[in-house]
Copies of this chain bind each other. A is one copy, B any other.
Amino acid sequence: MPQIEPKLLQGFFDYTPKQMAIRQYVIEKWRNIFRSFGYGQLETPVLEYADVLMGKYGEEEKLIYHFYDHGERHIAMRYDQTVPFARFVAINKDNLKFPYKRYEINRVWRAEAARRGRKREFYQCDIDIVGTESLMADAEILQVLHYGFLEFNLPKHVIHISHRKILESFLATLDLEKDKFIEVNRSIDKLDKVGIDGVIQEMKERGIKEPNISKIIEFISIKGEIYDVLNFLRDKLQDSEIGLKAVLELETLFKLLKEMNISDNYLSFNPSLVRGLDYYTGAVFELKIEEFGASALAGGGRYDNLCGIFLDDVQISGVGVAVGFERLCLLIEENNIPIKSNVNTQILVTVFSDNLRQNSLEAASVLRKLGINTEIYLENDKIAKQFKYADKNNIPFVLIIGEEEVKKEVVILKDMINGDQREVNLKDVLKSLETS
């Protein structure tokens, strides 16, 4: 057979067990958090009819992988988890029990321009509550996000919160054509990347004029205690019914977050927060960690009409958030954030001789029943080589059972990090590991 070069596509990666240990830890952490709040897991297909996905992502649509299948159907690979979720809700709306709470942690594909390390295949991690307008839903999404991030031993995070309709009703007070609102939105959305001067420049280019620019910049720069800012806004937007409603909604939201015992230290009202996606209609939020720079580690908001592209007779509103899974994994790896995981092998049980193999096999079974991930050495090698295997594979403990130990009904437990070894009873190994 002709030899084929074994190679990976650019932008695609194999994740080795060492890398998967972090990724799986992050997945399981979030999964447990979502479950503990009663979110059900949904899994949608990787392939969809192309027209289900097309027309939803603006310019970005060109990044969708799409092709014709064996039956000449035009099909496409999942670009995000939101559109397939909307498709799912649209199909099943009559059978779902609302409010419907779901999470999904899965891969998506984007044909991004090739750059070093840029991923064309990556995970997204989303939760949504749909079919309710209750602000308790918004608050719960933030509660999940907050308690979730607390679990990861990361530096302190802040959740930045705003409301789409606050900026909107402020803009309505200016002498500005309505079709410019979206231009202002897009300019402000670039704040983290280009700074205040960049936003000013951006607005100029998009045809916004003075004194509106100054007023907008002043507005998005409002800072202060949450309730002071809300009072200031109530005053500023007193003639706007929509504006006042938005302020009241935020006030209620902050009150609920307080009832959830989330300290104000973790929260910030931030009128410069707009979120890029056009479909948000209520509260919007982003979670950031100052030490890790300006870009958000999670973001989301409330939307009015999840299934608008599929249904014209029903509006299904909801609120959701997406955790930046890949970035979170990278930060944990790069910053050596400690992870408590049960992924790796904890003990290698050596095999002293053919005659004693059964003793080693039995010991390994006992250890597994105690919940200890345990490997047994598979080949016929000298003990020194078996130690080397443990060393190369970062297995922290080695168990040795020789003739002497069998007679005395003990085992020898060797700590591969400090070299200590001691005789223990097999049943006490777990305790010994914990005190090491």
Are B73 and A9 interface neighbours, CB within 8 A?
A: yes
Chain A 95-110 interface residues, beta-carbon cutoff 8 Å to B: 97, 99, 101-102, 107, 109
A6-B310, A134-B380 are known contacts; what are 9 more A-B pairs with Cβ within 8 Å? A3-B311, A14-B43, A17-B102, A20-B42, A24-B41, A99-B378, A129-B378, A260-B361, A261-B361
Chain B residues lying within 8 Å of A8, measured Cβ to Cβ, are 45, 48, 87, 91
Partner among B21, B37, B42 whose Cβ is within 8 Å of the Cβ of A16: B42
Residue A65 at the B interface, CB < 8 A? yes
Are B99 and A52 interface neighbours, CB within 8 A?
A: no
Given A1-B308, A378-B99, A45-B357 contact (CB < 8 Å):
no
Count copies of this chain in the complex: 2
Chain B residues lying within 8 Å of A16, measured Cβ to Cβ, are 40, 42, 92
Are B310 and A373 interface neighbours, CB within 8 A?
A: no
The answer for the CA separation of A154 and B395 in the assembled complex, in Å, is 34
Are A48 and B361 interface neighbours, CB within 8 A?
A: no
Residue A46 at the B interface, CB < 8 A? yes
Which A positions have Cβ atoms within 8 angstroms of B? Answer: 1, 3-9, 12-18, 20-21, 23-24, 35-38, 40-49, 51-52, 55, 65, 67-71, 73, 75, 86-88, 90-92, 97, 99, 101-102, 107, 109, 111, 114, 120-121, 129, 132, 134, 136-137, 140, 256, 259-261, 307-312, 342-343, 345, 348, 357-358, 361-362, 365, 368, 371-376, 378-380, 389, 392-393, 395
Smallest Cβ distance from A144 to chain B, in angstroms?
10
Are A17 and B40 interface neighbours, CB within 8 A?
A: yes
Chain B residues lying within 8 Å of A362, measured Cβ to Cβ, are 261
Chain B residues lying within 8 Å of A23, measured Cβ to Cβ, are 43
Smallest Cβ distance from A431 to chain B, in angstroms?
19
The answer for the CA separation of A73 and B260 in the assembled complex, in Å, is 52
Closest 3 CB pairs of A and B: A17-B40, A38-B375, A67-B67
Smallest Cβ distance from A101 to chain B, in angstroms?
8
Give the residue name and chain of the B residue nearest to A365 (CB).
Answer: B261
Given A46-B121, A378-B129, A389-B97 contact (CB < 8 Å):
yes
Give the residue name and chain of the B residue nearest to A114 (CB).
Answer: B71
Smallest Cβ distance from A194 to chain B, in angstroms?
28
Chain B residues lying within 8 Å of A9, measured Cβ to Cβ, are 45, 47-49, 73, 75
Are A109 and B374 interface neighbours, CB within 8 A?
A: no
Give the residue name and chain of the B residue nearest to A371 (CB).
Answer: B36
Given A6-B87, A91-B8, A373-B36, A42-B69 contact (CB < 8 Å):
no
Q: Which of A15, A24, A136, A389 has the most CB of B within 10 A?
A: A136
